[in-house]
Amino acid sequence: MSALSRVTGGRLRFGGDYNPEQWPRSVWAEDVRLMRRAGVNMVTVGVFSWASLEPRPGARDFGWLDHVLELLHSGGIDVCLATPTASPPPWMGVRHPETLPRDENGLTVWYGSRQQFCASSPVYREYARRITEDLAQRYGSHPALRLWHVNNEYCTFCWCDETARHFRRWLRERYGSLEALNTAWGTAFWSQRYDGWEEIIPPRRAQYLRNPSQLLDFQRFTSDALLECFTGERDILAAHTPDIPVTTNFMPLWRGQDGWRWAAEEDVVSVDIYPDPRAGWESPDGPAHGALVQDLTRSQAGGPWMLMEQAAGPVNWRGVNHPKPPGLNRLWSLQAVARGADAVCYFQWRQSRQGSEKFHSGMVPHAGERSRTFQEVCGLGADLARIGPEVAGTGVTAQVALLHDWHSWWAGDQPGRPSSELDYTRVLTSWYQALWEENLLTDLAHPEHDLSRYPLVVLPHLYLLSDTALDSLTAYVRGGGTLVCGYFTGVADGDDRVREGGMDARLRDLLGIAVLHEWWPLHPEDGLTLDDGTPAGLWSEELDTVPGNAVTVLARYADGELAGRPAVLRNRFGAGTAWYLSTQPGHGALRRLLADAAATAGVAPVLPGLPDGVEAVRRGDLLFLLNHRRSPVTVPLPLPGTDLLTGTRHTEEVRLDRHGVAVLRS
């Protein structure tokens, strides 16, 4: 039995963050009544409760939490209990100012908001250890407890002196000697050579560009330092309750944590999904962004996962914050389920009336029980209860792997590169979106993973590739795989040292490139055309192909400085094929190219000929059809099926309302 199935018990979990400490007790019983009405079956309690549980150093006030857990339990609502360590009480900052983080300029990041802790502070860690220990002791055998939720969205950075000491210890372990560190960081440049460990500091504010390998290592270190905080608490909980799984919630496609490494330390992988701040509900990119995060989380989990937070209505941290139009909350929730979620939860249960998030929606908004939002929440609860037993625990099988690596992201998006326009997540997202629109089910994978089970591997842009990754990619294609690889890839090694020739020789060989003369990034306003009419932009490369007939030039640059030179290549290598795109094709062209590569690799879309804006996902033996358009649509069916949401049998086609969903069993 997987850890997550111990949490779900074979149904889909539905609920949200529940913060009763913000409300008088008279509201609590009402909360449980409304939760039951909505079909809520688990809530997350205590995420930001530290000051309520430990009002002064060492004191404990568990009475209110005892009462809340009893109320929930007697109402049949299970509990995901959080450690409150994301928001230390003010007394900690006053008594132990060294627990407060310092920014790059050495300025204190004060209490008065949340997440004001230095991950390296032994004092913070000790207080976190004690409160975690006491929570586990007190509630470990509570019958409502199903899951532990550690901290919340680990995301802090700190540049203080304690962090500096910790960073040095981490570096000693990584490099062993100062000489090795000086070599890895290339400190011969600009007279940066270190003569003693104590000279090394976190990359604080400096006069001009800072050492890129130091920045990269500091990012790696910060991810690891936060991970130590997580595993520290996890181990305490696991010692008390070996059968209760532990999670911590990720942010969607968040830069700060090495998500592959972190997920491996969790019993259950969970994520919070809010729309990309660069795109709103109204954006046509919204559903693809959600799908990307969902596929990434499923891939991190290696199976079903939890949607720990989303918003039932508006958020309050965009410029203009609209509610979700009718049906959108249900559509996006069922999209997550289609892509492997076994839980649909929200921030938060009841919308706050005070505090920084009083204009952020809740499942129960200010307008209360009669509001449209709450009615829709109830409808969704009923839908999830209906399909839950058929869906929970089942898998999603993708035949395409999209490669993603945090270290490459960290190394590649620093200043001082050929183009500040090249944005890691934009490239990843645009390639993912093309796959999504072609209805090709996709996993995300680390370039060092075993890729042999995927007929198609897509690598949009990975500036840094380790030797292991290069060997694994080469072995994959040699063994018969199909790789589509994008520009400015394989440029640097694990220390962020540029590979000889500007691209690793193994990769050049694989792609059929003889010489990579120069990178030619483009200004946003400078478009290019290829000789097959394809518009392109962002980036181009001056390269020569290997002589001979293994490599075919599929398109050449038709204008600009590189006119006549190869732009898109396809190379036969071993038993497989590798495509190289030295530029970013226009969206339609990228779609066509990936669809061609998929077809030649024998990968079919979930349903052929779907109308644009309709998503089809197969989970287990169910087919989810999701209409992201604002108008109804009719989808032809390859086989008759019964919609589990309505009980209706459809033979030739299904009509989906605006934002409608069908979950078909054939």
Instruction: Report, as residue numbers or ranges, the catalytic residues.
Output: 153, 309
> Torsion angle of alpha carbons 114, 116, 122, 126, nearest 10°?
-20
Decide if 3 contacts 268 (C-beta within 8 A). Answer: yes
Residue 424 as a binder of ligand GAL (CB under 6 A): the answer is no
The CB-of-83 to ligand GAL minimum distance in angstroms stands at 14
Contacts of ligand GAL in 94-133 (CB under 6 A): none
Nearer to ligand GAL, 128 or 507 (CB): 128
Nearer to ligand GAL, 300 or 361 (CB): 361
Instruction: Indicate which single residue of 224, 276, 309, 443 sits in contact with ligand GAL (rule: CB under 6 A).
Output: 309
The CB-of-176 to ligand GAL minimum distance in angstroms stands at 38
The CB-of-67 to ligand GAL minimum distance in angstroms stands at 23
Site mask, ligand GAL, residues 138-177, x = CB under 6 A?
--------------xx------------------------
Greatest Cα-to-Cα distance within the chain, rounded to the nearest angstrom = 80
The helix/strand/coil state of 317 is: coil
The CB-of-258 to ligand GAL minimum distance in angstroms stands at 19
The CB-of-521 to ligand GAL minimum distance in angstroms stands at 33
How do beta strands 400-403 and 442-445 pair? parallel
Instruction: Indicate which single residue of 266, 272, 504, 615 sits in contact with ligand GAL (rule: CB under 6 A).
Output: 272
The CB-of-316 to ligand GAL minimum distance in angstroms stands at 7
How many residues are recorded in the chain?
Answer: 666
Distance of CA 520 to the CA centre of its chain: 31
Which span (31-39, 62-70, 307-315, 502-510) binds ligand GAL, by CB under 6 A?
307-315
Nearer to ligand GAL, 251 or 595 (CB): 251
Decide if 615 contacts 291 (C-beta within 8 A). Answer: yes
Q: What angle do CA 132, 301, 412 make, to 5 degrees?
A: 95
H/E run at residue 127: helix 122-139
Instruction: Indicate which single residue of 244, 292, 315, 458 sits in contact with ligand GAL (rule: CB under 6 A).
Output: 315
The CB-of-18 to ligand GAL minimum distance in angstroms stands at 12
Site mask, ligand GAL, residues 355-384, x = CB under 6 A?
--x--x------------------------
Pairwise CA distance, residues 493 & 184, whole Å:
10
Nearer to ligand GAL, 305 or 573 (CB): 305
The CB-of-158 to ligand GAL minimum distance in angstroms stands at 19
Which span (309-317, 416-424, 436-444, 656-664) binds ligand GAL, by CB under 6 A?
309-317
- Candidates 666, 654, 620, 75; CA nearest to 388 is 620
Site mask, ligand GAL, residues 321-360, x = CB under 6 A?
--------------------------x---------x--x
Residue 19 as a binder of ligand GAL (CB under 6 A): the answer is no
Give the start-end residues of each E strand in 294-337: 305-309
- Candidates 308, 156, 309, 299; CA nearest to 246 is 308
By CB atoms closer than 10 A (0-12, 13-18, 19+), residue 414 is middle
Tokens of residue 480, six digits: 């018969």
Could you give the count of Cα atoms lying within 13 Å of 430 in the half-sphere of its Cβ?
18
Nearer to ligand GAL, 110 or 317 (CB): 317
The CB-of-253 to ligand GAL minimum distance in angstroms stands at 13
Residue 274 as a binder of ligand GAL (CB under 6 A): the answer is yes
Nearer to ligand GAL, 60 or 114 (CB): 114
Which span (115-123, 308-316, 519-527, 655-663) binds ligand GAL, by CB under 6 A?
308-316
- Candidates 40, 39, 37, 19; CA nearest to 28 is 19
Nearer to ligand GAL, 324 or 570 (CB): 324
What is 406-454 written as a DSSP string? HHHHHHHTSSSSS-TT--HHHHHHHHHHHHHHTT--EEEE-TTS--TT-
| Sign of the alpha-carbon torsion through 15, 19, 20, 24 | negative
Contacts of ligand GAL in 501-560 (CB under 6 A): none
Please give the C-alpha separations between residue 22 and each of 44, 46, 349, in angstroms, as whole numbers: 14, 11, 12
The CB-of-155 to ligand GAL minimum distance in angstroms stands at 9
Decide if 201 contacts 214 (C-beta within 8 A). Answer: no
Helix, strand, coil shares of the chain as percentages rounded to 5?
35, 20, 45
Closest-approach residue to ligand GAL (CB): 347
Decide if 242 contacts 276 (C-beta within 8 A). Answer: no
- Judged by CB under 6 A, how many residues of this single chain contact ligand GAL? 10
- Cβ neighbors of 199 (< 8 A, separation 6 or more) are none
Nearer to ligand GAL, 339 or 360 (CB): 360
Q: Any idea which residue has 């409608």 for tokens? A: 660
Q: Any idea which residue has 């996006």 for tokens? A: 332
Tokens of residue 392, six digits: 């929970």
Please give the C-alpha separations between residue 311 and each of 82, 242, 372, in angstroms, as whole numbers: 19, 32, 14
Decide if 39 contacts 14 (C-beta within 8 A). Answer: yes
Nearer to ligand GAL, 200 or 311 (CB): 311
Pairwise CA distance, residues 410 & 292, whole Å:
19
Nearer to ligand GAL, 157 or 347 (CB): 347
Nearer to ligand GAL, 228 or 357 (CB): 357
- Candidates 363, 361, 362, 278; CA nearest to 319 is 278
The CB-of-357 to ligand GAL minimum distance in angstroms stands at 6
Pairwise CA distance, residues 447 & 459, whole Å:
9
Pairwise CA distance, residues 641 & 632, whole Å:
19
Nearer to ligand GAL, 166 or 360 (CB): 360
Tokens of residue 307, six digits: 């949607």
Q: What angle do CA 490, 493, 495 make, to 5 degrees?
A: 145
The CB-of-441 to ligand GAL minimum distance in angstroms stands at 28
The site for ligand GAL (CB under 6 A) is made up of: 152-153, 272, 274, 309, 311, 315, 347, 357, 360
